[in-house]
Amino acid sequence: MCGIAGFLTPPRERSAEYLTDIVGEMAERQKHRGPDDQGTWCDPVSGIALGHRRLAILDLSEQGHQPMLSSCGGYVLVYNGEIYNFQELRRELEQAGKRFRGHSDTEVLCEAISHWGLSQTLPRLRGMFAFAVWNRHEKTLSLVRDRLGIKPMYYGCFGSTFLFGSELKSLRVHPDFAAEIDPQAVALQLRHNYIPAPYSIYRNVYKLPAGTLLELHQTAGDAPRDWTGAQLQPAPWWSLAKVIERGRSNPFTGNYEAAVERLEELLREAVSLRMLADVPVGAFLSGGIDSSLITAFMQQQSSRSIKTFTIGFTEYEYDEAPFARRISEHLGTDHTELCVMPSEAQSVIPHLANMFDEPFSDMSQIPTFLVCKLARRDVTVSLSGDGGDELFGGYQRYHRLARIWHQLESIPGRRTIARALDWYIQNSPLEWKKPGLKQYAQLLNISSAAMLYAQLHRHWDPADILEREVWDPSESLGFGQSLAGLERAPFNWMALDTLTYLPEDILTKLDRTSMAVSLEARVPLLDHHVCEFAWSLPDSFHCEQGQGKKLLRSVLARHIPPSLFDRPKVGFGIPIGEWLRGTLFEWAEELLSVSALESHGLFQSRLIRERWEAHLSGKTNWQYPLWDVLMFQAWMAKQAQESSKVSPV
């Protein structure tokens, strides 16, 4: 895995030395993503500079060095990811007359773009990737992100300078970068615990959405182009909505047993492709369905015991280590288990702001980092089971919300009742009744299953705690819409999660925590062939009697006795709520003091303090919304320590 960075600036305005120094420093800030090699390339005549940090996985020699020029000299590539079918593509290219210097997938990608063109290459790729390619003839810079958003790509526009990189910290290096907080992004983080694409915490900086391509054409002449004012619209090269539409119009026609057989074939192949590496490979094993499936297929296809890793906690209700141990014993893996003490988990917290670069408050970020750190002692690549919940209906919230939605639909005249409640709330002197009545009125007024999801799974209503009114862009991002006609629950929510929660929470968490320790994490369940198959299945193949992952369970039962995995989903959690009342109290109290909350002019402190005090009393567990605020406050404190100024505008 790697870190990439670069920028486009007015032609001939800067020297080669200047371009090289700046882009080299941008790449250096991502050394953790690629500790094995660094490279830069620039062209002052065109105003382009590219930088790269390499974590060598395939072809460890100099032949895999980046930035990489195509053999024809027309393209320059910086690339983060893995193309799992690169050997197949290489054979096609060799038959067409291409000759290769080395054995890396980077060279195959570069030559494929040179031979087929970018638009014809992208559908052929099977993997995870984010890359930038400069077309030297057409003076065009293209940024690409993989289908499901496994690998990150940020870009920013600052006058005549266009920046991009794998992480925000690389963009901040450039002297033209302006660190101005976007209040809409703050609203999104408080509502969802992450900032969905295309937003980032900064104005004029964006995440490239999953499955999209952004092209910039450098103009010749003396007048520099203002990228800030340009209409830079990423174009989809792969669409989940179209996948769903195709799956519904051309569904899988076999019976249930045929679907089990087909899914097993797809998963076995997906795992096999992701075991290819010139460095040691292992797997995360929690003992749940997804990680157990990946581990079973890995062990089945390995001539030796594969290495598996899990962490446990002293708190019994959060400890999945015994389940993972039993799976490991059954499959015969070389298992490493670490019991994490509270002090060790809490020691990660001061590093989170730097690790994630923007406020991010999925508290499972802590155990995910710890298991990545554990795995990195023995392997450079680890396979993960992420994606099974979104593609195969695994979250219990889907089924709980389905019941609520059906109940709401059965209430006659609910919109009229909602209007009456709104009138009462506005005119009643009984202030203590208003919060509960307001929430009930909002529920009655909901018009779609997706809006119900957004309403019940928000952590804060930003209007309640932000100092000024800020438009919350959630609905424009799809949170208030139905997708591809999926009005019925829970499939609307599965699609919504695959578009938003999966890439911007789950996969962001996996990428940043694994890259922080220079570990490559691969996700076989998110092979796009598996995704497309999942969306072609009948509803009944996903869920049965309120239980999801029906098909995954059936595949796993072929390899592991159900008694070892058939239990309620636990999740990757930690007792943050208890820690905030105990050993983390002083840290949290400082960040949640009235002076700290109001210091940047973004928050109203009253409601936050009320929830903090209620949490401390033990009457209510407000750990999730409080963690959102704490992660924002910790991030702001980190920015204050850095030399560049951050303007909360």
The one-letter amino acid at 433: K
Order of strands across the sheet that contains 307-313:
334-340, 307-313, 281-284, 381-383, 520-522
pLDDT for residue 482 is more than 50 = no
The residue out of 238, 253, 283 marking a domain boundary is 238
pLDDT for residue 647 is more than 50 = no
pLDDT, tens digit, 9 for 90 and up, residues 582-604: 999 999 999 999 999 999 999 99
pLDDT for residue 391 is more than 70 = yes
pLDDT for residue 172 is more than 60 = yes
Domain-embedded: residue 41? yes
Among 37-51, 263-277, 435-449, 479-493, the range scoring the smallest mean pLDDT is 479-493
CATH number for 373: 3.40.50.620
Order of strands across the sheet that contains 212-217:
68-69, 75-83, 127-135, 140-145, 212-217, 235-236
**Quick one: tokens of 210?**
């999953």
Residues 403 and 543 occupy one common structural domain: no
Of the two residues 71 and 573, the one the predictor is more confident about is 71
The pLDDT value given to residue 415 = 80
Residues 459 and 608 occupy one common structural domain: no
Question: Is 157 part of the annotated catalytic residue set?
Answer: no
- Residue 490 preceded by cis peptide, ω within 30: yes
Residues 469 and 501 occupy one common structural domain: no
CATH number for 35: 3.60.20.10
Query: Within 10 Å of residue 302's Cβ, how many Cβ atoms?
Result: 14
Domain-embedded: residue 159? yes
Contact 34, 2 (CB under 8 A): yes
Residues 380 and 457 occupy one common structural domain: no
pLDDT, tens digit, 9 for 90 and up, residues 431-468: 555 566 777 777 787 777 777 777 777 889 888 899 87
pLDDT, tens digit, 9 for 90 and up, residues 112-127: 999 999 999 999 999 9
Domain-embedded: residue 341? no
Residues 154 and 172 occupy one common structural domain: yes
Contact 234, 215 (CB under 8 A): no
Burial label, 232 (beta-carbon count in 10 A; 0-12, 13-18, 19+): middle
Residue with tokens 């862009």: 473
Contact 154, 165 (CB under 8 A): yes
Of the two residues 473 and 135, the one the predictor is more confident about is 135
Residues 226 and 281 occupy one common structural domain: no
Residues 412 and 473 occupy one common structural domain: yes
**What value does the mean pLDDT take over residues 346-357?**
96
**What whole-number distance in Å separates Cα of residue 609 and Cα of residue 190?**
15
Pairing of strands 307-313, 37-43: unpaired
Segments forming the whole domain that contains residue 401: 396-486
Residues 99 and 211 occupy one common structural domain: yes
Structural domain count, the chain: 4
Catalytic residue among 2, 110, 372, 543: 2
Of the two residues 271 and 59, the one the predictor is more confident about is 271
pLDDT for residue 44 is more than 90 = yes
Contact 494, 482 (CB under 8 A): no
- The per-residue pLDDT of the chain, averaged, comes to 90
Domain-embedded: residue 332? no
Residues 143 and 213 occupy one common structural domain: yes
Residues 126 and 34 occupy one common structural domain: yes
pLDDT, tens digit, 9 for 90 and up, residues 501-539: 999 999 999 999 999 999 999 999 999 999 999 999 998
Domain-embedded: residue 225? yes
Q: How confident is the model at residue 645 (pLDDT cuts 50, 70, 90)?
A: very low
Of the two residues 173 and 468, the one the predictor is more confident about is 173
Q: Give the angle 627-629-633 at the CA atoms, nearest 5°.
A: 115
Q: Please tell me the total number of residues recorded for the chain in this structure.
A: 649
DSSP 43-57: ETTTTEEEEEEE---
Residues 249 and 232 occupy one common structural domain: no
Instruction: Name the 3-class secondary structure at 135.
Output: strand
Q: How confident is the model at residue 648 (pLDDT cuts 50, 70, 90)?
A: very low
Pairing of strands 161-165, 154-158: antiparallel
Query: Within 10 Å of residue 397's Cβ, how many Cβ atoms?
Result: 14
Contact 559, 296 (CB under 8 A): yes
**Quick one: tokens of 448?**
């779609």
Q: How confident is the model at residue 17 (pLDDT cuts 50, 70, 90)?
A: very high
Domain-embedded: residue 343? no
Residues 508 and 466 occupy one common structural domain: no
Contact 83, 43 (CB under 8 A): no
The residue out of 538, 564, 590 marking a domain boundary is 564
The residue out of 192, 222, 238 marking a domain boundary is 238
pLDDT for residue 579 is more than 80 = yes
pLDDT, tens digit, 9 for 90 and up, residues 251-301: 999 999 999 999 999 999 999 999 999 999 999 999 999 999 999 999 999
Domain-embedded: residue 336? no
Domain-embedded: residue 533? yes
